[in-house]
Each structure stands twice: as C-alpha cells, then as structure tokens.
Amino acid sequence: MKALIVYAHPRKGSFSHALLKQVQHKLCDKGMEVEVRDLYQLNFQPVLAGEDTIHVEEGNFVRDQEIFPPDVLVEQEKILQIGLPIYVFPIWWNGMPAIMKGYFDRVFQHGFAYSFESEEPEKEFCGEEGVVFDTDWLASSK
C-alpha cells in the first residue's frame, strides 16, 4: 500500500517535523511505500484564484478555467494513486497553516473531490479514509 503524507510546517526543528519523521518511519517499518509532499519545500501556491472557483451561471455550476492549474493536477494525481492520505500540520490561531488550507481549497475542488452535477467524484472517493495529525490534539489529549 502507498501512503501520501502532505506536510505543512516551515521549520525542520519543529514538533510537527518530528511527528512527520515518526509517522514516516513507522509506515516504512510496516512495508508501506511513503511519499512526503512538504508544502513549504514545494513552495506550494495556496491562493485560490477567482477563475478557479465555481459559480452559478444560468442555473449551472461553472468554472472559468475548465482545466485545473498544473500544480493542482500534480497533487490530484498523487491523491488518486495512493491508498492512504495523511496530513501533518500544527494548529495556529485555532486553524491549520494557511498553506495547508490553501492546499485543501485548491486541490479538493468541485469536479475533483465533489460535484453537484456528477456522481464521479463520489464513486472515486466513497469509502476512502485519511488520517490527520495536528499538534493541537496531541497537546489537548493529556
């Protein structure tokens, strides 16, 4: 089985980075193939452009750009190729880092992760599971 770890923290000495390394190590010990997507290292562009959002025209959901941007297509393809998505990030100001939020906004868009008009995304993702490791639940679970 393949695992994709999407990681968001700018410092290598952080608790989140230590958690990433531990998760990666444990998965490899279990014989899993692991790929890490470090959003800061990739310099992932988190801003969802207006032309990439859906809107309603004449009662239909449309996007100005019919094809997702190339960097988003890369991430979507990686998600489709794996068996287990894992997300590792800290909680800052009661939320995930902006780069991770932008990843979710841009990658899991209408037409890929969900649709109001087609059942294809539901068929692709129905029954799928993922894992989230955020440092807030670790601190508050004591």
Q: pLDDT for 17-30, tens place per residue?
A: 999 999 999 999 99
How many angstroms separate the CA atoms of 49 and 84, rounded? Answer: 28
Nearest by Cα to 37 from 2, 88, 1: 88
AA letter at 110:
H
> What number of helices (H) and strands (E) belong to the chain?
5, 6
Domain locations in the chain as residue ranges: 2-52+66-140
Q: pLDDT for 84-125, tens place per residue?
A: 899 999 999 889 999 999 999 999 998 899 888 888 888 888
* pTM (2 d.p.): 0.89
Q: pLDDT for 63-84, tens place per residue?
A: 888 899 999 999 999 999 998 8
Class of the domain covering 2-52+66-140: alpha beta
